[in-house]
Amino acid sequence: MRHPRGTYGVLFVIPALVAMMVAPSVRPASAATDSAIRVLQETPLSPAAEVPADVRKECNDLGEELPKAVMRSNRRVTLVNTPRELQEKTGKYLFVEITQVRARAAGALTGPKKLNVRGALIENGKEIADFEGERGAMAPAGTCSTLEKAEKELGSDIGVWLTNPRPHSRLGDK
């Protein structure tokens, strides 16, 4: 027995059923939730940062791993080269700076190392959320490698925070 709509009726019913099954899990993309977040390619030291002299001298790459880890942890993050690119008047950007490095000497066996950062998420020129973060690391490696490990962990913490940023957040070991 032939269907009253003919064989072509089935061609319209199947896509409609598939769309109904998929629709509940599809969310409309909104500019606020899916927009790119610009992050500076290298995390700067705060002008008032407390960093031991030997760490400043030895760890030339300090601040390079944190933004990469943020980007790996959050698909919306885009790295930019200059502060000027970062602070455009429209869109979102995340400003992060290193505020303190606690490391005794620059050797492998000098105990745990800690890294503190502070950051603010800015949207269209207004701060919408901020955080302070701290991570400690200990490794059978030099101070710079151990601090790099702390940077990667903090970067991951920040990337997760960006999925639901809140004012006055504490990240990492804080």
Domain boundaries, the chain: 36-172
Among candidate residues 3, 88, 107, the one with its CA nearest the CA of residue 37: 88
So what's the pLDDT on residue 30? Answer: 37
So what's the pLDDT on residue 26? Answer: 36
Which regions in the chain score pLDDT beneath 50? 1, 3-4, 8-33
Fold of 36-172: Rossmann fold (3.40.50)
So what's the pLDDT on residue 157? Answer: 97
pTM for this entry:
0.76
Task: Output phi, psi for 55, to 5 deg.
Answer: -70, -45
Query: Left (φ > 0), alpha (ψ -120 to 50) or beta: where does 99 sit?
Result: alpha
Which helix (H) or strand (E) is 121 found in, with range?
strand 113-123
Spatial distance between the Cα atoms of 52 and 107, rounded to a whole number of angstroms: 13
Count CA atoms within 13 Å of residue 164 on its CB side. 2
Spatial distance between the Cα atoms of 158 and 103, rounded to a whole number of angstroms: 22
So what's the pLDDT on residue 151? Answer: 95
